[in-house]
Amino acid sequence: MVKMNSILRELISIVLAIMLCMVNATAQENKFDLNECYKLARENYPLIKQKDLMNLSTAYSVSSANKAYLPQFTINGQASYQSDVTSIDIKIPGFPSIESPSKDQYKIYAELNQVLYDGGATGNQKKLLKLSNEAEKQKTEVELYKIKDRINQLYFGILLIDEQLKQVDLVKSDLNESIKKTNTAITNGTAYQSNLNLLKAELLKSDQRTLEFKSSRKSFISMLSLFIGKDIPESSVFIKSELTIATTNTINRPELNLFTLQQSLLDQQLNLMGTKNLPKASLFLQGGYGKPALNLLKNAFDSYYIGGVRLNWNLSNFYTNKNDHLINGVNKQLIDNQKDVFLFNTNLTVTQQSEESNKLAQLIKLDEEIVSLKSKVTIASKAQLENGIITTSDYLREFNAEDQAKSSLILHQIQLLQSQANLKTISGN
């Protein structure tokens, strides 16, 4: 029997341990922090799929560009009629006359070309395709980065509501305590029913505030849930981690990488245009069947072939070479100007946000002093109410003033955290 009890206790301990682990795991799953929300929102946003599609498209394009090194095979055919043909009107005794070719002529042939030298056109084309892909992916990064600002708004909106709900719970606790004491005072004949009614009405207002806050919280959580692609239980905890203001004024936004890639893309486009000014060389082999064939004096269908090396140099591209360089230079200046405008506006916003953070930090210090003083006034008013020196209305006025001061402190504290998060988002640090 003792052995059975011992086994039973061990089983109960194991079950309790498993249940505790499950509770801890569930609690851990229902905790969210700002960086995790950033990560999940990025992974869930539909635009992220474009990066894989761009890589796939570029891989196909590069593969197609590589085909330029493979032998190129073409088939051509032609049937024609011409107004005149070459004829030799010389008669040599003892030799047959030379027959002129027919005015209707036919030819079908296949040609095989193998590039020997293309002036670097294929290599530069592949580099251009890869750079274009990087630039397009960076544009996607720029758009994805904008999600952070929307996550900040939702996340800190939830944090503010959570803090406000805590404050309302404290207010309701104090009101319930006052209601109990007032009930006792009414029983003892030292208070009026109207005093109790005022406190109950104030408690109902607090209940209204709780309902409004919970409704707003549910709405914010629903929107955040859509962004991160994950169901968020209403019981979830959102971590209020401390954020520090970046000590550097350096801007590290993805837009800067985009500007750099766009400049590189222009350089590569110029390199590709330069290959048009270089000669091209290739091997060729042509075989066909026609009338006449290579022997123009044989007016009959015959097969033929010809092979050799072909050189092609298009010098007309030199006409626009100077303008191509000038246009490229202007385009690079445009990108430089866009970069300067972006940095100017971003630094301006960083300065404004830094000032906002400093202002909020100063407001919080004053809020803390105000709350401390208001709390002392409320404590004194409560004692005066219990001793019949002031009315319930007088007490509630001071009580609500303290609540307002605490709400103002909470608002400024969350606003400071959001301002610091915004500053990091704006600067890219």
For the chain, the domain total comes to 1
Residue 95 has pLDDT above 80, yes or no: no
pLDDT at position 356 = 93
- Give the rounded percent of residues in the chain with a pLDDT score beyond 90: 45
**300 belongs to a structural domain:** no
pLDDT at position 15 = 47
Instruction: Domain of residue 49: give its range.
Output: 33-69+119-278+339-427
pLDDT at position 2 = 46
- H-helix or E-strand spanning residue 138: helix 121-145
**74 belongs to a structural domain:** no
Please indicate whether residue 204 or residue 247 has the higher confidence score (pLDDT).
204
Which residues neighbour 303 within 8 Å (Cβ) at sequence distance 6 or greater? Answer: 287, 288, 289, 293
- Give the rounded percent of residues in the chain with a pLDDT score beyond 70: 90
Which residues neighbour 121 within 8 Å (Cβ) at sequence distance 6 or greater? Answer: 68, 272, 275, 276, 280
**76 belongs to a structural domain:** no
**41 belongs to a structural domain:** yes
**138 belongs to a structural domain:** yes
Average model confidence (pLDDT) across the chain? 86
The dihedral formed by the CA atoms of 359, 360, 365 and 369, expressed in degrees to the nearest 10: 110
Mean pLDDT value across residues 96-110: 81
**4 belongs to a structural domain:** no
- H-helix or E-strand spanning residue 308: strand 302-312
Per DSSP, helices labelled H in 245-308 are: 254-274
Residue 364 has pLDDT above 90, yes or no: yes
Residue 405 has pLDDT above 60, yes or no: yes
Least confident of 46-50, 164-168, 228-232, 375-379: 46-50
**159 belongs to a structural domain:** yes
**140 belongs to a structural domain:** yes
Residue 21 has pLDDT above 60, yes or no: no
pTM: 0.79
CATH code of 365's domain: 1.20.1600.10
